A and B are shown apart, each in its own frame.
Chain A
Amino acid sequence: MTRLVITGGTIIDQRGERRGDVAVEDGRIVEVGVDTTAALTGDRTLDATGCIVSPGFVDLHVHLREPGKEEAETIETGSRAAALGGFTAVVAMPNTDPAQDSVAVVEFVRQQGERAGLCEVLPSGCITVGRNGDHLAPYGELSAAGVHLFTDDGNGVQDAQLMRRALEYAKPLGIVLAQHCEVSSLTKGAVMHEGSCCSRLGLPGWPALAEELMLFRDIELVRLTGVPMHFLHLSTARSVELVRQAKAEGLPVTAEATPHHFTLTDEMLESYDAVYKVNPPLRTSDDIAALKAGLADGTIDAIATDHAPHAPHTKEAPLDQAPPGMLGLETALALAVTELDLPMQRVLALLSWNPAAIAGVADRHGRPLEAGEPANLCVFDPTAEWTVVPANLASKSRNTPYAGRTLRGKVRHTVFAGDAVVEGGVALR
């Protein structure tokens, strides 16, 4: 049996921070040598000098494009990007073709993830069949097949009655419904945030209200039904306030924010470069400040990337024709470290154990680093500076809005199910 040891790092998990070496055997942590002078030894050593050793990250929101759009990404290339970003589990959004509204499709997605072997790919299910907003998807069958998070992401569920029924039906299953908040009648043709910038650029606007209105409706549905909901990619200041209020009232709601929404503003669209087109759109500096405050005070539970690969030629189109979305898996940690002025343990809560709980995988991801725990780990250097070069990314696509940006914080090793899948910043599979 191979014994893998991670030496010289600083462990940070939900229990706190300490210097320590970690030994892994057969998929589990077998020994943690805290504050000992004698380093642990093993058959294989991962050097963590100057690094933080933490539970692996969990991304609640990735688009892996398979099946249906393999020219943009496959489950294998997306899993590799995830592993390089320090993620050991990702929730695959259901807007594939065919959509993830049947056991056959979610099983396929899970198996492709297992074949790639780089992280755990957790298929989400649709709220409605085909994400069309008309009929409930078979939550019972999908839940029995291991699906925990259900969403029509890319579309908000427009029909209030249908959304109410979805929550009621979901109640005994213990699943979580996740909403892409967008009242579509307010965003017809919209390509960017509605405000002074879109008015000057002559582009149709996506008003903050379109998000906030559905978020408000769904919070009230949670109040009515008592069924938990998760809110995807909050983008506005008022959304943060609505969730803060709901939590203060004790409602079972959780929320995520993406790195691009807390780092970039709508003024990026002045370039008319479709790499900055995303849904919901980039907002204003006031919204960024509110998102950061929400990440700091626990209103927002998780950082999720909304990793959305698109083939280069589709992004080389005018803004109204290009698809929305940005890459995120390989830059998330660095953006959180560089742009959020938060204690490292808080950053890791947002990236690891909080989303693990929302995704229903808290039994194996985001665990404390102790003997007997599953070995899904990330080792990263919080001070290493690196420059984002699109061609060097593992994703099949190149649509990162951070090309040329120098960021701080780089993943050195990722251990998934006890095996090193990234070593020295290089994917081994």
Chain B
Amino acid sequence: MKHLLSVEDLTADDIHRLLELTDHMVEVSSRPIPKVPALRGKNVVSLFFEDSTRTRTSFDTAAKRLSADTMNFAVSSSSVNKGESLRDTIETISAMGVDAFVVRHKSSGAPQMITRWTNACIVNAGDGWHQHPTQALLDCYTIRTNLNRRDGFDGLRIAIVGDIKHSRVARSDVQAFTRLGAHVTLVAPPTLLPPSLDGWPVEVSHDLDSLLADLDVLYLLRVQRERMDDALLPSLEEYSALYGLTPTRAARLAPHALVMHPGPMNRGVEMVVDPSELPGSVILQQVTNGVAVRMAVLFTLLGSGSAASIGESA
């Protein structure tokens, strides 16, 4: 694997291998000194053309636990604001010697474009509405561990609720969950679905209440206030009434069902109930697992040797 651009490029076996490697990384992270020399001398550059404190910090922590050198390139402090082109930016930083770029960009496809201008590995940390593959992997890992599904998601019923149209998380999760065998239902008002779902292995529902009792995983997406400006929703209150996780709806979930969210949450919109009072909430575990999953991804792209070589402490 040279790059991680899209879940579309991963087979079920690829995903399983990354999740197994994540088990090792969780073990490393649980040590008193959670650091191994696996990527010593490798230079990992975070290129964030869009703000994201949590994803950037997660990748940064992952790289440091593997002893890679890290550099942060934030747009506000860069020459991009002086009109430098994306290509010039990539070629300039590449010339300093970079092994991997972790790229977040508000434009779909930007990480794929960047592969044309550098020999470094590219990890997509979220591009536009397109893909967020490490989020999908950490979501799979969280489901796998909590529901004890090491062999796959056959028969699992997962609902993804919210703004599917503008969501890179939804696109990545649909591909990853279904590739592992889950049955995925998208729940959203028609205005927040993509214009076409041809080729998506999913069902669609506009009635969350009818699904709740049968779900193994309820996955909520963030609904943004600016959607009202495009006449996609009448109001956030109405969205909340029809699609939000209220205490009443939470009470109808099966006892084993997980509640997930990629963050940041909109309290009182999609998340009406206090998640700390939800027994099935694994939202913070998602964040924790994010570090281990990203360690597995960076090690797969940049590491040499087997998972055994990450055994010793730094």
Point out the residues of chain A lying under 8 angstroms from B107, CB to CB. Answer: 318-321
Are A194 and B108 interface neighbours, CB within 8 A?
Answer: no
Q: Is B171's CB under 8 angstroms from A318's CB?
A: no
Residues from chain B with Cβ under 8 Å of A72 in the complex:
none
> Could you tell me how many residues of chain A have their Cβ less than 8 Å away from some Cβ of chain B?
22
Are A202 and B86 in contact (CB-based, < 8 A)?
no
Checking A198, A313, A317, A321 against B195 with a beta-carbon cut-off of 8 angstroms, the contacting residue is A198
> In this complex, which of B85, B107, B112 has the most chain A Cβ atoms within 10 angstroms of its Cβ?
B107
A residues within 8 A CB of B262? none
Partner of B85, one of A201, A203, A316, A319: A316
Residues B196 and A318 in contact, CB atoms below 8 Å apart = no
Q: Specify which chain A residues have a CB less than 8 angstroms from the CB of B194 in the assembled complex.
A: 198-200
Write out, one digit per residue, whether chain B residues 24-55 have a CB within 8 A of any chain A CB (1) or not (0): 00000000000000000000000000000000
Residue of B nearest to A313 (CB): B85
Among A196, A203, A271, A313, the residue within 8 A (CB) of B108 is A203
CB distance from A96 to the nearest CB of B (A): 23
Q: Do the beta carbons of B128 and A200 come within 8 Å of each other?
A: no
Alpha-carbon gap, A302 to B85, bound state (A):
38
Q: Which of A202-218 contact B (CB under 8 A)?
A: 202-203, 205, 207
**Contact A318:B85 (CB < 8 A) given known A195-B196, A196-B198, A205-B195:** no
Asked if B195 and A195 sit within 8 Å, CB to CB, the answer is yes
Given A272-B108, A272-B113, the answer on whether A196 and B196 have CB atoms closer than 8 Å is yes
Contacts known (A202-B168, A272-B112); A316 close to B195, Cβ less than 8 A = no
Q: How far is the CB of B291 from chain A (nearest CB, A)?
A: 26
CB atoms of B131 and A202 under 8 A apart: yes
Q: Which residues of the partner chain A approach B130 to less than 8 Å between Cβ atoms?
A: 201-203
Whether A201 contacts B195 by the Cβ 8 Å rule is no
Is B195 touching A272 in the complex (CB atoms < 8 A)?
no
Determine the chain B residues whose CB is within 8 A of the CB of A320 once the complex forms: 107-108, 128
Cβ of B198: which chain A residues have Cβ within 8 Å of it? 195-196, 199
The answer to whether B85 and A317 have CB atoms under 8 Å apart is yes
B197 in contact (CB, < 8 A)? yes
- Distance A131 CA – B83 CA, assembled complex (angstroms): 27
Write the nearest CB–CB distance from B51 to chain A, whole angstroms.
Answer: 17
Tell me, in angstroms, the Cα distance from A395 to B283 when the chains sit together. Answer: 55
Q: How far is the CB of B93 from chain A (nearest CB, A)?
A: 16
Is there an interface contact between B199 and A200, defined as CB atoms closer than 8 Å? yes
Residue of B nearest to A272 (CB): B109
| Nearest CB in chain B: distance from A324 CB, A | 15
Chain A 306-346, CB-CB to B under 8 Å as 1, else 0, gives: 00000001001111110000000000000000000000000
User: With an 8 A cutoff between CB atoms, is B110 at the interface?
Assistant: yes
Residues of chain A within 8 A (CB-CB) of B200 are: 199-200
Nearest neighbor of B168 in chain A, beta-carbon distance: A202
Please, how many angstroms separate the alpha-carbon atoms of A205 and B105 in the complex? 19
Chain A residues whose CB sits within 8 angstroms of the CB of B109 once the complex forms: 201, 203, 272, 318-319
Report the Cα distance A319→B129, complex, angstroms. 13
Sorting the interface of chain B by its residue count into under 10, 10 to 19, 20 to 34 or 35 or more gives 20 to 34
Q: Are A200 and B108 in contact (CB under 8 A)?
A: no
CA A195 to CA B131, docked complex, whole Å: 18
Do A313 and B128 touch across chains, with their CB atoms under 8 A apart?
Answer: no
**CB neighbours of A199 from chain B (8 A):** 194-198, 200
Determine the chain A residues whose CB is within 8 A of the CB of B86 once the complex forms: 316-318
Say yes or no: is B87 at the interface (Cβ < 8 Å to chain A).
Answer: yes
**Which residues from B are CB-within-8-Å of A313?**
85, 87
Distance between B118 CB and nearest chain A CB, rounded to angstroms = 13
B105 contact from A195, A198, A318, Cβ within 8 A: A318
B98-120 interface mask toward A, CB cutoff 8 Å, 1 = contact, 0 = none? Answer: 00000001011110110000000
- Of A194, A199, A319, the most chain B CB neighbours within 10 A belong to A199
Report the minimal beta-carbon distance from B165 to chain A, rounded to whole angstroms.
8
Contacts of B129 in A (CB 8 A): 202-203
B 182-215 binary contact with A (CB < 8 Å = 1; else 0): 0000000000001111111000000000000000
Most chain B CB inside 10 Å of its own CB: which residue of A200, A203, A207:
A200
Contacts of A273 in B (CB 8 A): 113
Knowing A319-B109, A321-B107, the reply to whether A202 touches B128 (Cβ < 8 A) is yes
A316 CB contacts on chain B under 8 angstroms = 85-87, 113
> Nearest chain B CB to A375's CB is how many angstroms away?
46
Q: How far, in Å, is A266 (CB) from chain B's closest CB? A: 11
Shortest Cβ distance from residue B205 to the other chain A in the assembled complex, whole angstroms: 18
In the complex, the answer to whether A194 meets B128 with C-beta atoms within 8 Å is no
Complex interface: chain A residues within 8 A of B195 (CB): 194-195, 198-199, 205, 207
Q: Is the CB of B197 within 8 A of A318?
A: no
A315 CB → nearest B CB, Å: 10
Cα-based distance from A313 to B85 in the complex (angstroms): 7
Query: Which residues on A sit within 8 Å (CB–CB) of B112?
Result: 271-272
**For the complex, what is the distance from the CA of A404 to the CA of B199, rounded to whole Å?**
31
The distance in angstroms between the C-alpha atoms of A288 and B145, with both chains bound, is 49
The answer to whether B171 and A202 touch across the interface, beta carbons within 8 angstroms, is yes
The residue in chain B whose Cβ has the minimal distance to the Cβ of A203 is B108
Q: How far is the CA of A195 from the CA of B197 in the complex (A)?
A: 9
Q: Mark A116-152, 1 if CB is under 8 A from B, else 0.
A: 0000000000000000000000000000000000000
CA distance A205 to B166 in the complex (A): 12
Of chain A, the residue at the smallest CB distance from B109 is A272
CB distance from A286 to the nearest CB of B (A): 13
Residues of B within 8 A of A200 (CB): 171, 194, 199-200
Q: Least Cβ distance of B310 to chain A in Å? A: 34
Q: Measured between alpha carbons, how far is A409 from B196 in the docked complex, in Å?
A: 39
On chain B, the residues within 8 Å of A205 by CB distance are 195
Beta-carbon contact of B108 and A202 below 8 Å: yes
8 contacts between A and B (CB under 8 A): A195-B195, A198-B194, A198-B195, A199-B200, A200-B171, A201-B130, A271-B112, A318-B113
